[in-house]
């Protein structure tokens, strides 16, 4: 592993400005747009990842006061359709109340607190509590109290369902429980500019996988906000991904990262370049790009590692030594080769770009193949001739504070991270895929239903994720151990890189601003005397979509 000090404030190797200048197509202004960057390291107390009082403060100051993605408008297309959105111990019921109007209510009966709905549903004519039958109209006004005579102090006019603010953005429904919040459009700012070529109206939700993870939601989210970890966690990407050459920008309430495809990692600079394995398989036979050792899956799902002298040693899928002279192996490559596989991928050839010898511009070659693919999918619906190489093939991923991560341009990935109830050491990690929709609206598939995976379920139990499941296997090797290590640290402090972890530093600028002054930024201690919970929006709120 190289790439140490370069004498500059960025990694060695090609810069993004150079990549843009060498692009075979014009690069858009928004892609060249430079965001803010404040140099220096950010230090975060470890207890913000595991302390119960910090979690409780997040509910009070963050989840109760921030715009957050709840669902898709097309998931509640007809009047009476509803969607349940839970965050920590809070629960909201998002309801299509009229054509073109959506409202969000606190999902709790005003009688005894029973949840009005546990699951999403269709075609309700009213919202009746299953416990005692108290009932509300879809517009939130109270319809009926069984045995109303027994509640002489209850004026039905005062018992409408409390609302949260609702906003829609390109087919997504957001809510904010804070009645004083600025509009969603102000919060998101110019985010839509970054999706001009492929707005979400031209996509559909093809997959939605929710997995319980044994770590804090911030621990999980931070692993998907930078490319710094690629060199150690995803060695199979290094030959074709400029991990340490990534560019990071922050804009208001969101941040952006761009990682180049078709260029090698600068960590490989000065290292031996190994010959490509002609009979390599993506999940069956790989040469490690740094050590040169060959990792091969055997019939038992174990991994045989052949070193440069031809010695063979065996490891399990977690990198634990089983036999042979070599006692150490890369656990993430062992997981890639030896872990469970999505069905049908056993004989998949290597995906690493391997252009013909006459190709001199690998990025242009990759982009041309992607242009042809998109053209076949959508015909003339998108002018792919006007799209730059970078927008077609690079990993361009956004983080919208606090917990939403859509990927840009033609990449279908989207993430959402939530605490699992009120346990600060558990979270829900959601992966959604939004590929291009067919050009004819009549052919647009319905949004995919969510698949739920438990703590011990492997990602490959969600075959709709395809090869992405193997990437998440590698990340999932690290994250539970990060959560455990945060408790074990002596210094009880996390330090984030000045540049490559810019997005995380940007997150914590907003995070500490939201939780101040009750959260001590240096120690993570929470001040006593909790405030009264913030009020919800008035019953008149709602939004047109």
For residues 176 and 186, the answer to whether their CB atoms sit within 8 Å is: no
197 pLDDT exceeds 60?
yes
Q: What is the mean pLDDT of the chain?
A: 93
- What is the predicted pLDDT for the residue at 345? 85
For residues 484 and 213, the answer to whether their CB atoms sit within 8 Å is: no
For residues 95 and 81, the answer to whether their CB atoms sit within 8 Å is: yes
Q: Using alpha carbons only, what angle is made at residue 344 by residues 338 and 347, rounded to the nearest 5 degrees? A: 65
Longest Cα–Cα distance of the chain, Å, equals 88
Q: Using alpha carbons only, what angle is made at residue 106 by residues 101 and 111, rounded to the nearest 5 degrees? A: 125
Query: What does the pLDDT look like over 300-310, one tens digit per residue?
Result: 889 999 999 99
Global pTM reads 0.94
- What is the predicted pLDDT for the residue at 538? 43
Query: What does the pLDDT look like over 287-335, one tens digit per residue?
Result: 999 999 999 999 888 999 999 999 999 999 999 999 999 999 999 999 9
- What is the predicted pLDDT for the residue at 531? 52
pLDDT tier at 529 (50, 70, 90 boundaries)?
A: low
**For residues 310 and 532, what is the distance between their CA atoms, to the nearest angstrom?**
68
Q: Which tokens is 345 given? A: 């991928």
- Least Cα distance to 37 among 261, 256, 259 occurs for 256
Segment 378-403 shows an average pLDDT of: 93
Segment 47-73 shows an average pLDDT of: 98
pLDDT tier at 535 (50, 70, 90 boundaries)?
A: very low
Q: Using alpha carbons only, what angle is made at residue 270 by residues 268 and 274, rounded to the nearest 5 degrees? A: 60
Query: What does the pLDDT look like over 428-458, one tens digit per residue?
Result: 999 999 999 999 999 999 999 999 999 999 9
Distances (CA, A) of 271 to 68, 274, 288: 45, 9, 12
**For residues 8 and 5, what is the distance between their CA atoms, to the nearest angstrom?**
8
Tell me, what DSSP letter sits at residue 445?
A: P
What contacts 10, CB < 8 A, 6 or more positions away? Answer: 499
540 pLDDT exceeds 60?
no
**For residues 40 and 506, what is the distance between their CA atoms, to the nearest angstrom?**
12
Q: Which tokens is 171 given? A: 């087919």
Cite the residue boundaries of each domain of the chain with CATH code 2.102.10.10.
66-190+535-544
**For residues 497 and 503, what is the distance between their CA atoms, to the nearest angstrom?**
10
Q: Which CATH class is domain 66-190+535-544?
A: mainly beta
1 pLDDT exceeds 90?
no
Whole-angstrom distance between the N-terminal and C-terminal Cα of the chain? 51
- What is the predicted pLDDT for the residue at 6? 59
DSSP H helices, 40-114, are 52-58
Q: Which range (12-21, 128-137, 283-292, 413-422) has the least confidence? A: 12-21
533 pLDDT exceeds 70?
no
Query: What does the pLDDT look like over 216-262, one tens digit per residue?
Result: 999 999 999 999 999 999 999 999 999 999 999 999 999 999 999 99
For the chain, what percent of residues have pLDDT higher than 70? 95
């Amino acid at each position: 592993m190289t790439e140490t000090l370069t004498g500059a404030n960025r990694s060695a190797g090609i810069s993004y400005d150079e990549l843009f200048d060498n692009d075979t197509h014009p690069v858009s202004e928004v892609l060249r747009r430079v965001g803010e960057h404040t140099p220096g390291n950010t230090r975060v107390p470890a207890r913000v990842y595991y302390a119960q009082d910090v979690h409780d403060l997040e509910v009070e100051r963050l989840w109760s006061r921030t715009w957050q993605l709840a669902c898709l408008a097309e998931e509640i297309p007809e009047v009476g359709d509803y969607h349940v959105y839970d965050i920590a111990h809070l629960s909201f019921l998002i309801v299509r109340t009229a054509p073109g109007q959506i409202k969000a209510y606190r999902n709790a009966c005003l009688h005894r607190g029973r949840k009005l709905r546990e699951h999403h549903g269709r075609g309700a004519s009213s919202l009746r509590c299953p416990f005692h039958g108290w009932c509300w109209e879809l517009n939130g006004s109270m319809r009926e109290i069984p045995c109303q005579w027994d509640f002489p102090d209850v004026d039905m006019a005062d018992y409408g369902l409390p609302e949260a603010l609702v906003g829609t953005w390109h087919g997504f429904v957001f809510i904010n429980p804070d009645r004083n919040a600025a509009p969603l459009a102000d919060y998101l700012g110019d985010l839509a500019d970054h999706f001009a070529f492929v707005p979400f109206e031209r996509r559909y939700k093809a997959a939605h996988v929710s997995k319980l993870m044994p770590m804090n939601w911030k621990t999980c989210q931070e692993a998907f906000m930078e490319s710094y970890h690629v060199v150690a966690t995803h060695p199979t990407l290094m030959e074709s991904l400029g991990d340490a050459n990534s560019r990071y920008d922050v804009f208001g309430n969101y941040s952006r990262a761009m990682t180049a495809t078709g260029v090698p990692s600068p960590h490989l600079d000065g290292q031996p370049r190994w010959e490509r394995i002609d009979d390599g398989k993506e999940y069956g036979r790989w040469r490690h790009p740094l050590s040169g050792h060959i990792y091969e899956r055997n019939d038992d799902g174990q991994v045989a590692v052949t070193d440069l002298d031809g010695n063979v040693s065996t490891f399990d899928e977690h990198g634990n030594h089983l036999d042979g002279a070599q006692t150490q192996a890369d656990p993430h490559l062992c997981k890639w080769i030896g872990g469970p596989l999505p069905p049908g991928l056993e004989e998949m050839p290597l995906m690493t770009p391997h252009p013909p010898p006459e190709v001199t511009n690998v990025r242009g070659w990759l982009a041309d193949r992607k242009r042809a693919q998109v053209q076949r999918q959508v015909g003339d619906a998108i002018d792919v001739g006007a799209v730059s190489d970078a927008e077609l093939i690079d990993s361009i991923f956004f983080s919208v504070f606090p917990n939403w991560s859509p990927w840009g341009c033609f990449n279908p990935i989207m993430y959402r991270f939530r605490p699992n109830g009120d346990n600060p050491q558990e979270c829900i990690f959601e992966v959604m895929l939004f590929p291009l929709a067919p050009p004819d609206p009549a052919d647009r598939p319905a949004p995919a239903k969510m698949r739920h995976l438990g703590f011990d379920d492997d990602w490959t139990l969600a075959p709709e994720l395809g090869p992405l499941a193997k990437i998440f296997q590698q990340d999932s090797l690290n994250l539970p151990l990060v959560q455990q290590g945060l408790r074990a640290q002596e210094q009880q402090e996390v330090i984030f890189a000045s540049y490559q972890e810019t997005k995380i530093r940007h997150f914590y600028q907003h995070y500490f601003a939201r939780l101040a002054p009750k959260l001590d930024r240096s120690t993570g201690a929470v001040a006593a005397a909790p405030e009264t919970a913030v009020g919800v929006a008035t019953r008149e709120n709602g939004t047109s979509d």
